[in-house]
Chains A and B, each alone.
Chain A
């Protein structure tokens, strides 16, 4: 069976400006994918290409194994069975909530349509608001109406464009989990676009980190964090600092604080297999440095940010380098004081040294 969505090397231009370059990905039925990246990286354009609102200037988009976009033709959006939830929801202001949800069911019989609308209203928990107009709803409710409207015609693929960006932070977290449950329950395949990693981690099975129109890594959240394929992904996802180091052999890297043991990835080019004595930058995440009063390694506290359960410390390491550390908040150390630390790196991530 072909993947539900397959994108093969598409390009897209707005006039002279290239918005998307050589982009490929696949999504299987029932999966939730996500394009994650800073604003202006072309992620929304990819979504609009999949929906059919933008033509591709090269490459192919296949839905269920059928070509829908090539550089020569573009199946119009209304014939793709692809639903879309817009960033501003684009609810029809002249229609009630129920009429909005039933809008895409225009080929259905009246009774069947009413039943489907009622079912969706219940799914998104808005049965009481069926006869209201969109402007009478809160932002979160409007968001759910937009979702229900897009789901109503049972699209093969659902696209969500920054679906939570208009909501406040607390609502955003709750709704993203809720929406994920709804999508799972409807067994929907979905593709989401966001600039918020927490949202991407909460919702998606596969995440593509985008930069300047290209996907830099298409992977699970776990791998993006612990096995970033390149420096951009390593810096974009999560927090961390790079410390100068040297590769000793395939399993060991040496930095100022000592030797790290673990499978060394991504250092230098694949053809220089021995890799010995190669200068690298090693990624140290805040959770790689743990608190240990007994440790001989003492770091100076430069800055601290209280976060409730833990404190994010900015530390000056003995060699002079600066690193971040996430430490349970009952270990309260004053700025300027020292703190005992220990390295606990499970995944050694190192990249070729860029700066001399």
Chain B
């Protein structure tokens, strides 16, 4: 299983052994410094934004009391349902020079105000990504604040600290691993994002890989860029793990009586206003605009092609979900059977795929598949004496391999945590009652794993549906999905046409959010 991950990574990395060709030299001299700067500022901006917004909102809904708190505590997760590239093209469509907002402003003022900021800018990309990715930080930080309980804050208060000091000196440092974890997720999404930066024409590694691939047809350049990106991602991960070092964070006992900090009048309204504004900008506004656009083009645009896109998306997602859940089950069982160090390392490697940006994986999967294909073609030619054509390349196999590698971690973690609950003594008890082999699997393990498998399937299904670069780069020719359709429409600036498939994606995306909300509501 680990091989599945190692092959693509090894492939892209080995590209550096190949002498640099002209394309690469050209890239290194012209665009690379710009790419690095762009990626750096983007990562910094998104990290800063998601942390302040996510942690702030998490604190308000987890510990304080203000009007609408119960509603906001789950509603603020809704933006997770909208892929970042959808928020991106909605923002562009609304705020562009020709968009309704600026047009209305010009009509109202009579002239071009000139001060309106350019949306296609670094600030614009960062804002959109913060709005799309803050729920990762929010979710984890809120969880941390809820589980650490009020005890630590009370302890700080009994030692003479005001609630504000207690937040800064106790709650925040104690929640640091969670906040770091959420920020890491947001950063991973940022670094591997392709759709948003493509919409904004903001060049980062992922778009550069895509351009090297399709624009210059240079596999070497594409994979060298990919390697650089992997190095950046892994470095970020290492830094985060160093942070945690020796500290361990025990969870406080649940179910204790909690007295929330009641915010006074002005502060309470300020909190409600912040939560409303965030929810409006990140969810309500995009969804409303999408619905309006989609409604406008529905009658003329919705035809058999859409059923095809939808069918393709559905088929790919279902197949990938099956594969991922199957592999995830195999991996967890392997880890359960053989607890040795090698297996543990293999599992870790196998689940690292999520950190690999889709664009990298596309390159990494394509090259070995192409190689294998050529060998097969040679073999066929030698034996059959006639060209059989290429077998694997440009088939669903390559797409599915890349999906499985990337989303194995997504499916693995819920199944693994469900497996953790089946303790050794449960196995022994079942064996003591005369069950073994398949009977044990059917009557004990599967019922206990069902919830985990379901969660895994839902998460993987939606993630695959939203996935853009892998699909774009490895799909069979002409095999368009909803995400591909969005990419094509947005690259032509046809926002209305892009809205229709986007609505379908958002609806699908709501499914795992509902699962998540149900989980968080239990607290």
Query: Which residues of A line the B interface, CB within 8 A?
Result: 14, 51-54, 76-79, 81-84, 86, 88, 90-95, 103-104, 106-107, 133, 135, 149-150, 152-153, 159
What total of A-B pairs shows CB separation below 8 Å?
79
Contact of B247 among A81, A133, A150, A153 (CB under 8 A): A133
The verdict on B176 contacting chain A, using a C-beta distance below 8 Å, is yes
Q: Which residues of A contact B246 (CB under 8 A)?
A: 133
> Is the CB–CB distance between A82 and B158 below 8 Å?
yes
Interface size class of B (residues with CB under 8 A): 20 to 34
> Is the CB–CB distance between B173 and A150 below 8 Å?
no
> Is the CB–CB distance between A94 and B157 below 8 Å?
no
- Contacting residues of chain B (247-287) with chain A, CB-CB under 8 angstroms: 247-250, 252-253, 257, 259
> Is the CB–CB distance between B159 and A83 below 8 Å?
yes
Chain B nearest CB from A149 CB (Å) reads: 7
Chain B nearest CB from A81 CB (Å) reads: 8
Chain A nearest CB from B198 CB (Å) reads: 41
One digit per residue, 1 when the CB lies within 8 angstroms of any chain A CB and 0 when it does not, for chain B 426-454 equals 00000000000000000000000000000
Q: Can you identify 5 A-B contacts, CB atoms within 8 angstroms?
A: A52-B157, A84-B155, A106-B161, A133-B247, A153-B159
The verdict on B464 contacting chain A, using a C-beta distance below 8 Å, is no
Chain B nearest CB from A103 CB (Å) reads: 6
Query: Which residues of B line the A interface, CB within 8 A?
Result: 151-152, 154-162, 165, 169-170, 173-174, 176, 246-250, 252-253, 257, 259
Chain B nearest CB from A319 CB (Å) reads: 50
Contact of B160 among A78, A90, A91, A135 (CB under 8 A): A78
Contact of B158 among A51, A91, A106, A133 (CB under 8 A): A51
Chain A nearest CB from B262 CB (Å) reads: 11
> Is the CB–CB distance between B151 and A78 below 8 Å?
no
| Complex CA distance for A330 and B404, rounded to whole angstroms | 76
Nearest B residue (CB) for A14? B257
> Is the CB–CB distance between A77 and B157 below 8 Å?
yes
> Is the CB–CB distance between A84 and B154 below 8 Å?
yes
> Is the CB–CB distance between A83 and B249 below 8 Å?
no
Q: Which residues of B contact A135 (CB under 8 A)?
A: 248, 250
> Is the CB–CB distance between A90 and B247 below 8 Å?
no
Q: Which residues of B contact A83 (CB under 8 A)?
A: 158-159
> Is the CB–CB distance between B151 and A90 below 8 Å?
yes
| Complex CA distance for A88 and B174, rounded to whole angstroms | 16
Nearest B residue (CB) for A44? B257
Q: Which residues of B contact A90 (CB under 8 A)?
A: 151-152, 154-155, 252
| Complex CA distance for A150 and B249, rounded to whole angstroms | 21
Chain B nearest CB from A76 CB (Å) reads: 7
Known: A88-B151, A133-B246, A133-B248. 6 other contacts (CB 8 A): A76-B162, A77-B154, A77-B157, A86-B151, A93-B248, A94-B174
> Is the CB–CB distance between B174 and A92 below 8 Å?
yes
| Complex CA distance for A233 and B125, rounded to whole angstroms | 71
> Is the CB–CB distance between A106 and B155 below 8 Å?
no
| Complex CA distance for A92 and B174, rounded to whole angstroms | 8
| Complex CA distance for A52 and B158, rounded to whole angstroms | 9
Q: Which residues of A contact B159 (CB under 8 A)?
A: 78, 83, 103-104, 149-150, 152-153
| Complex CA distance for A94 and B152, rounded to whole angstroms | 11
Chain B nearest CB from A41 CB (Å) reads: 15
Q: Which residues of A contact B170 (CB under 8 A)?
A: 92
| Complex CA distance for A94 and B156, rounded to whole angstroms | 13
Q: Which of B155, B162, B169, B174 has the most CB of A within 10 A?
A: B155
